[in-house]
Structure 1
Amino acid sequence: MPPDAFAPPAERGAALVATDSVERDGPAAEALAKAGLPVLTGLTGLADLPAVGARLHAVPHPAGHGDGDGDGARVYGVAE
C-alpha cells in the first residue's frame, strides 16, 4: 500500500477512521498511522450510519470481555 494512500482523508479533516476489518496491525493500519489517523477496527453496522453527521462514541469494555489484551472498548455510533 502506498505510504500516501490515506493522505486524502487526512487532508479533508478526518480525525479518525472506523472500519469493519479485524486486522489491527496490517498495511492499512500502518498507512493510516503514517497519515496521522487513528483507526478503530472490528466494528459492525457501519453501513447503517450516515456518511456525514454521525457521532462515534467509545467507552471501556466491561471487565472480563474483549480479546484479553486490555484495550477493548464498546463503540457505538449515533446519527445526529
Structure 2
Amino acid sequence: MVSAEIIYQKAQKLSTFRLQELADYLDFLLSRDALVAKKNTTLFPPTKIKYSHEQPIYQGKPLTIEEMDKAIDYEAGVRK
C-alpha cells in the first residue's frame, strides 16, 4: 500500500518539470472524474421533434425531383 509519506519521499527526488507534469496529469484526472460524476447534466438543450402529423412549413403543391432541380437552376441563374 502506498502512503502519503512514500509519495512525498518519491516526489522529493523528481525534477521540477516532472512534478509539474504529474500535477497537470492529476488535475486532468480529477476534472475528468468530476465530469463523469455529473452524468445528469446535459451538454445540449432538449429539442422539439416535429412529427409527420404536424403541418409542414411549405404550403405549395408537392414537387418532383426534376421540378426542384429546375427551380434550383433558375434561382442560381437569377443570383449570378
Q: TM-score, normalised by structure 1?
A: 0.16
Higher-Rg member (1/2):
2
The structure where helix makes up a greater share of residues is 2
Q: TM-score, normalised by structure 2?
A: 0.16
